[in-house]
Amino acid sequence: MQKQVSFIEVIKQHIEEGDVVLPVFNSAAMKVQQELVKKEPDMRVLENAITTDQSLSSLVLQMANSSFYRGLVEVLTVKAAIVRLGMREVGRISLLVASKNQFRSGDKRLNWIMRKLWQHSVGCALGAKWLTKRCKLDELESHAFFAGLLHDVGKLLVLMVVEQMRKKDPKLPVTDALLLEAMASLHAQQGYSLMKLWNMPEPYCIVARDHHKDDYDNTNDMLILVRIANMMCNKVGIGLRKDATLMVSALEETHHFNLTEIDLAEMEIVLEDTTILTR
């Protein structure tokens, strides 16, 4: 027990003392998100934001041509992808692939965990987006997607810190149990601080901070959407956890939106489909 507490404290110290390289948020993706939340996004601004980042645009095309989205004809330009899939869909794809780029590690074990975390983030983003439609909260669609995508960014931060600690000290004993413990205990607060550092709008930072909190703000619809999406991902097993016994229908959050068992069963199918995208 003592060992676990000290490991967590060491990680915290590293972050607080500025002793680590922090993850950065892709600036092109930030521009895309700022455009997506507008009532009438400007297609040229969106296209420019994506195409000025070459690696981002090639990843966008890769995903737009994946089995999840593929049409009869391969799209070869971002513009063509926008014409076929729509501006908002291409915007979301670019956010997904930008976040995928962050979840990588040279350490095989950490890389596997990061991959699972990315799958979880995508599940939560698409799950929260799906819920906005079901709950008739269309105005929150792009916000909930983004908040879902970033809600666990604190876990990524913890893993990156551990990676850097291990580079300095390859013999550092890090078990999976220790990693899970450290992520669970640090990610909400550290994720909040990281997002503030990225100058993210406060509502997204709050989702990162409060998505596990017992006394959360039960008037914050976006937070509640992400909390439900998060629980559903854990129930279905998208990410590091799978707990099929989770009674999501009994949660206060699902009652808040009057979601039925049928809604949740439908959501499970939608979430399972998202795994095609993140294979």
Residues lying near Fe ion in the complex (CB under 5 A) are found at 152, 230
CB of 211 to Fe ion, least distance (A): 5
Cβ closest to Fe ion, residue 50 vs residue 200:
200
Q: What distance in Å separates the CA atoms of residue 273 and residue 62, rounded to the nearest whole number?
A: 18
Cβ closest to Fe ion, residue 142 vs residue 230:
230
Cβ closest to Fe ion, residue 104 vs residue 213:
213
Cβ closest to Fe ion, residue 72 vs residue 244:
244
The 8 Å CB, 24+ separation contacts for 234-240 are: 235/268, 236/123, 236/268, 236/271, 236/272, 238/119, 238/120, 238/123, 238/271, 238/274, 238/275, 239/116, 239/117, 239/119, 239/120, 239/123, 240/113, 240/116, 240/117, 240/120, 240/180
CB of 99 to Fe ion, least distance (A): 13
Retrieve residue 91's tokens: 């915007």
CB of 151 to Fe ion, least distance (A): 6
- Residue with token string 């009532």: 39
Cβ closest to Fe ion, residue 50 vs residue 159:
159
In single-letter form, the type of residue at position 230 comes to: N
CB of 52 to Fe ion, least distance (A): 31
> How far does the chain reach from its first CA to its final CA, in angstroms?
36
Other CB atoms within 10 A of residue 77 CB: 12
CB of 41 to Fe ion, least distance (A): 28
Instruction: Output phi, psi for 106, to 5 deg.
Output: -75, -20
Cβ closest to Fe ion, residue 88 vs residue 241:
241
